Chains A and B, each alone.
Chain A
């Protein structure tokens, strides 16, 4: 029998456990992760208005939970996810109308999205706790 033909040297797709994802890929997957997180996080908003609809006592109980360390941690995560998804979502809307597709523009918008997310989150928490 003849030996099996050597496979052609085709380009390989990146091996995800070894390949370091570029920043644009990381922001892309993080957009989905924050989207899922925000969907689950909407439960906090539902709990807020829902507790209020049941009266002042359930409202106080809910507020007690939200002002506990776990509540603040959830709020911190929610606010960070919201600002990232908002900023990166605006970037997606630019792409949707065909703008900023060049690689140098994408690298620039990576930085803008990350910096804007951090600044907005920090400013919000400064205003909230000041």
Chain B
């Protein structure tokens, strides 16, 4: 079959461009955020259970606790990052057509980062009691 025993495809060798050198980054970021989300998700569920039935004052007081502020900010930032990475893989797999695929991925990424920014700012506003 192949003259050499390397793992490059014939097309890849003909193009001779080499790797983009960033293929691992997406995979690694998805795993790293996944590991971080294990304790953060458990904390989040426990917090929601503890907050059930509480009014605005109670919620604001809870969020003003520095540990809760930190954990919620991390949950939002890491969660949206993980969501955006995962949605990218799903869209890459199921959306055919280069233009539509790229457009939908960019669209989803913008929405995720926009929602992340808004929810982080909202968290800070409540936490600081502005």
Cβ-based interface call for B105 (8 A): no
Given contacts A42-B80, A45-B119, A127-B49, contact A53 B126 (CB under 8 A): yes
Residues of B within 8 A of A128 (CB): 48-49, 52
Contacts of B52 in A (CB 8 A): 128
A43: chain B residues within 8 A (beta carbon): 115
Asked if A35 meets B60 with Cβ closer than 8 Å, knowing A53-B121, A93-B35, A124-B45, the reply is no
Stretch from A7-15, A20-28, A82-90, A101-109 at the B interface:
A82-90
B90 near A32 with CB under 8 A, answer yes
Q: Which of A39, A52, A92 is B59 in contact with, Cβ under 8 Å?
A: A52
Once bound together, how far apart are the Cα atoms of A59 and B58, in whole Å?
12
A35 touches B41 (CB 8 A): no
Distance between Cα atoms of A79 and B42 in the complex (Å): 11
Give which listed residue, B37, B48, B55, B126, contacts A49 with CB less than 8 A: B126
Is A46's beta carbon under 8 Å from chain B? yes
Report chain B residues within 8 Å CB of A63: 55
Q: Is the interface of B mostly helix, strand, loop or mixed?
A: helix
Which of B49, B79, B118, B122 contacts A52, CB < 8 Å?
A: B122
With both chains docked as a complex, state the minimum distance between the C-beta of A50 and any C-beta of chain B, in angstroms.
5
A36 within 8 A of B: yes
In the complex, the answer to whether B76 meets A45 with C-beta atoms within 8 Å is yes
For B48, the chain A residues whose CB sits under 8 A away are: 128
B48: min CB distance to chain A, Å: 8
| Residues of A in contact, count (CB < 8 Å) | 29
In the complex, are the beta carbons of A52 and B60 less than 8 A apart?
yes
Whether the Cβ atoms of A46 and B115 lie closer than 8 Å is: yes
Report whether A49 and B41 are in contact in the complex, using a CB–CB cutoff of 8 Å.
Answer: no
Do B122 and A53 touch (CB < 8 A)? yes
User: Is the C-beta of A2 less than 8 angstroms from some C-beta in chain B?
Assistant: no
B123 close to A49 (CB less than 8 A): yes
Decide yes or no: A60 and B112 within 8 Å by CB, A49-B126, A52-B122 being known contacts.
Answer: no
The verdict on B71 contacting chain A, using a C-beta distance below 8 Å, is: no
Other than A42-B115, A46-B119, A52-B56, give 9 A-B pairs with Cβ distance below 8 A.
A35-B87, A42-B83, A52-B60, A56-B56, A60-B55, A63-B55, A89-B38, A92-B34, A128-B48
- In the complex, 12 of the A-B residue pairs with CB atoms within 8 angstroms, ordered by the A residue number, are A39-B112, A49-B63, A49-B119, A49-B126, A50-B119, A52-B122, A53-B123, A59-B56, A63-B55, A86-B37, A96-B31, A128-B48
